Amino acid sequence: MSTALVTGATSGIGLAFARELAERGNDLVIVARRRAKLENVSDELRARHSINVEILAADLSKRAQLRRVADRVADRERPIDLLVNNAGFGTSRSFLKGELADEEAMFDVLCRAVLVLSHAGALSMKDRGRGAIVNVSSVAGFIPMGTYGAAKGWTLAFTETLAHELAGSGVSATVLCPGFTRTEMHVHPDGESTKLPKVMWLEPDRLVRDCLDDVKAGKVISVPGAQYKLIAGVAEVAPRGLVRALSRGAASIRRRQS
């Protein structure tokens, strides 16, 4: 039986990963900040799928707590076969209007934690000659969309580099780049989703299944949904000036809708 470690596993895409992997018979190590939520998810998955679930309460923006998770990923006596670096959050203000401390915390979770945990996982997996790493980025990583998009762009480039270094080792690295997904991140407290056409929404369960299929197929970049494959493809080949202009227009629309 394989063991997967998922960060940010109590909500959104991370919870969808945990549920799908549990349904496939994997044991789990689930990581999030709040122990009570971890215990709720753990109880659910144990009862439903009769698997082993280990919980690690950790704030990945704190170096000592991140180190504890990295040590668990690197533990060769209890190997991790699949590492899913999913934990993350976005800031609501622009870079110059927000608090620098918030930007630093976001950078630490979206970039530094991915770097540290991928290093621990890749070394341990490479020694065994098998394993897979999934780093959750965003279609925003293809487009200049604030510091969140910049961090996701780093995750995209980093994972491609990691995949190249791991080639032929039996270990794979895949970067998942979803668009707007029906999770807590895009739903207001009153239950209303961000005002976008229905066609632009992805379902977390489906995108997780598609991503795991891409991992099995050895794909380095996983972009769920035909609409977002098109956006990512255009962003990669279009002149950067045009991409920046489109990004500014999209940001203006979001501000008017908020």
Instruction: Give the start-to-end residue ranges of the domains of the chain.
Output: 3-257
Set 17, 142, 148, 228: catalytic member: 148
Contact 172, 183 (CB under 8 A): no
| Local structure of 92: helix, strand or coil | coil
Min mean pLDDT across 96-100, 113-117, 174-178 is at: 96-100
Per-residue pLDDT for 191 more than 90?
no
Q: Provide the whole-model pTM.
A: 0.87
Query: Would you state the pLDDT for residue 192?
Result: 47
Query: Would you state the pLDDT for residue 255?
Result: 42
Burial of 19 (0-12, 13-18, 19+ CB in 10 A): buried
Q: Which CATH superfamily is domain 3-257 in?
A: NAD(P)-binding Rossmann-like Domain (3.40.50.720)
Asked about 228 being catalytic, the answer comes back as: no
Please report which confidence band the pLDDT of residue 94 belongs to, taking 50, 70 and 90 as the band edges: confident
Q: Which residue has the tokens 């290093």?
A: 119
Looking at this protein, which amino acid is placed at residue 151? Answer: A
Give the separation between CA 86 and CA 71, rounded to whole angstroms.
Answer: 18
Q: What is the pLDDT of residues 231-256, one digit of tens each?
A: 777 666 766 675 566 565 455 434 44
Q: What is the pLDDT of residues 37-86, one digit of tens each?
A: 999 999 999 999 999 999 999 999 999 999 999 999 999 999 999 999 99
Average per-residue pLDDT in the chain? 87
Burial of 237 (0-12, 13-18, 19+ CB in 10 A): exposed
